[in-house]
Amino acid sequence: MLKEILVIDDNPDIRLLVSNILKEKNFLVRTAANYDQAVFEINKKLPDLAIVDIKLDKPDKDGIDLLKLIIKKNKSTPVIMISGHATVKIAIEAIKIGAYEFIEKPFSREKILNYVNRALESSELKKERDIIENKLFHSFELIGKSPAIIKVKKIIDKLSTSDSRVLISGPTGTGKELVARKIHKNSSRSKEPFVIINAALLKEKTYARELFGEEFEDGNISFGALERANKGTLLIDEVSEIPYETQINVLRVLIDQKFKRLNGSKDIRVNIRLIASTSKNLREMVKINKFREDLYHRLNVMPIELTSLNSRTEDIPLLIKYFKEKLSEINGVHQAKIDMNNDNLYTYNWPGNVRELRNLVERITILSANEDEDNINKLINDILNPSSTIDRNSNLLEKSFTSPLKEAREHFEKEYLVTQLKKNHGNISKTADFIGMERSALHRKLKSLGIKGIN
């Protein structure tokens, strides 16, 4: 597809020169001769790249203002600034705001083409990287048949007709961001921005700037997450990490739907849906005065709780099958031959939850080309090296050597039967067939050992 370039310059000779150079290389070219025409063209349709002169016809508006407008609409659109009499300060300011490059007039045909090609190539690479990075979240589904996952799916469906705030809680790696994206995708705001701010990754002094933005003395503006998410959805990941003194400002935005940028005097009105996520217990944090109770209640309108993977082991085969298909597609390789009966997949504690399982499948997919199932099983066991299982087995051996024979045998039988039930997703008949036991006899054995239904 041909790339479209917008050339903005009040000098007709420069416009004609640059346009002809670009057309010779089969670029589609639009032009604007003044500030108002430029605004019209930008609002009509963003180009793939813009070439903008600093000085235009308006004394109070120039190319820097157009740069800000383009960046606000789409920060990924590359902008090359040109000028015949700009200062170093202006050039630095343009780059700081987001210009790809600054070129002084006069410039050669080779120079302008070089910068245009590099800017477009850089833009394409960034788009490809963004697609790859977001592919798991945008194309992957919430996989599972466990009661916990079925419940979450039903809540997401109900939220499609609602604009309620949502608080997603659960251990790290359980899919909180994926759930937030699904809620946004199913909502009436799906065509609007989905913005993420990870409170756990910010420095204490930058929370307010990242949320509300900042105005500088030279007139530059840094747009915060609230403003970028206007009309769409804002996910505050690890909301528990927002400093206590900043939480009141977040609460005020939820109440008033407006705020001021840092160093700003003008109210900025926004219409956003707020989703918050946390791996900590906010209710406990409220009790010890680490999180504001009034903010907690404002966020917790619709709670969603994601459980750890080791509490829903029946979902492991489904997740592995799904990740095998998707990851082989993404990486362009054959699907890995993973044995679903490998005990370690069910006895491993999965501290990283679904994210860790996905990473395991990806490693196996990449590393196990042309390997047979036995070698892949060995590779899985080597990767997991489940210390939790080793510790549990060590404890079991210790109990065996220090307990009477009957008690030691019961310890072993209980451990063995729980593992087999998990592998068969709690199915009594399949477990009985596998271990060579009558179904009724297995029921009696489970009852005698105090083993209740395994989901």
Last residue of a domain, one of 385, 403, 435: 385
Asked if residue 170 and residue 66 are part of one domain, the reply reads no
Q: What integer pLDDT is reported at residue 226 of this predicted model?
A: 92
Asked if residue 278 and residue 149 are part of one domain, the reply reads yes
Asked if residue 300 and residue 248 are part of one domain, the reply reads yes
Asked if residue 266 and residue 182 are part of one domain, the reply reads yes
Number of helical H runs and strand E runs in the chain: 20, 14
In a domain, 134, yes or no: no
In a domain, 454, yes or no: no
* 3-state per-residue secondary structure call for 92-129: HHHHHHCCCEEEECCCCHHHHHHHHHHHHHHHHHHHHH
Q: What integer pLDDT is reported at residue 375 of this predicted model?
A: 78
In a domain, 418, yes or no: yes
Q: What integer pLDDT is reported at residue 167 of this predicted model?
A: 97
Last residue of a domain, one of 74, 106, 129: 129
Pairing of strands 221-222, 214-215: antiparallel
Q: What is the CATH number of the domain that holds 223?
A: 3.40.50.300
Q: What is the CATH number of the domain that holds 343?
A: 1.10.8.60
Q: What integer pLDDT is reported at residue 332 of this predicted model?
A: 72
Mean pLDDT per segment of 10 residues, for the chain of length 455 residues? 93 94 95 95 94 91 93 89 82 86 89 92 76 52 92 93 94 93 92 90 81 82 88 94 91 92 90 95 95 96 95 94 84 80 87 90 75 76 60 48 56 72 75 72 79 67
Asked if residue 182 and residue 117 are part of one domain, the reply reads no
Q: What integer pLDDT is reported at residue 208 of this predicted model?
A: 86
Asked if residue 268 and residue 376 are part of one domain, the reply reads no
> What is the separation of C-alpha 295 from the centre of its chain, rounded to a whole number of angstroms?
24
Asked if residue 78 and residue 145 are part of one domain, the reply reads no
Q: What is the CATH number of the domain that holds 402?
A: 1.10.10
Q: What integer pLDDT is reported at residue 122 of this predicted model?
A: 84
Per-residue pLDDT tens digits for 223-252 = 889 999 999 999 999 999 999 988 999 999
In a domain, 445, yes or no: yes
* Euclidean distance between CA atoms 455 and 453, whole angstroms: 6
Asked if residue 239 and residue 115 are part of one domain, the reply reads no
Asked if residue 265 and residue 323 are part of one domain, the reply reads no
Asked if residue 252 and residue 206 are part of one domain, the reply reads yes
Asked if residue 374 and residue 432 are part of one domain, the reply reads no
In a domain, 8, yes or no: yes
| Residue from 255, 243, 234 nearest 208 by CA | 243
Asked if residue 220 and residue 161 are part of one domain, the reply reads yes
Domain hosting residue 394, numbered range = 388-449
Q: What integer pLDDT is reported at residue 129 of this predicted model?
A: 59
Q: What is the CATH number of the domain that holds 105?
A: 3.40.50.2300
Domain count, the chain: 4
In a domain, 324, yes or no: yes
What pTM value is reported for the model? 0.59
Last residue of a domain, one of 332, 358, 385: 385
In a domain, 455, yes or no: no
Contacts of 133 (CB under 8 A, 6+ apart): none
Q: What integer pLDDT is reported at residue 389 of this predicted model?
A: 43
In a domain, 135, yes or no: no
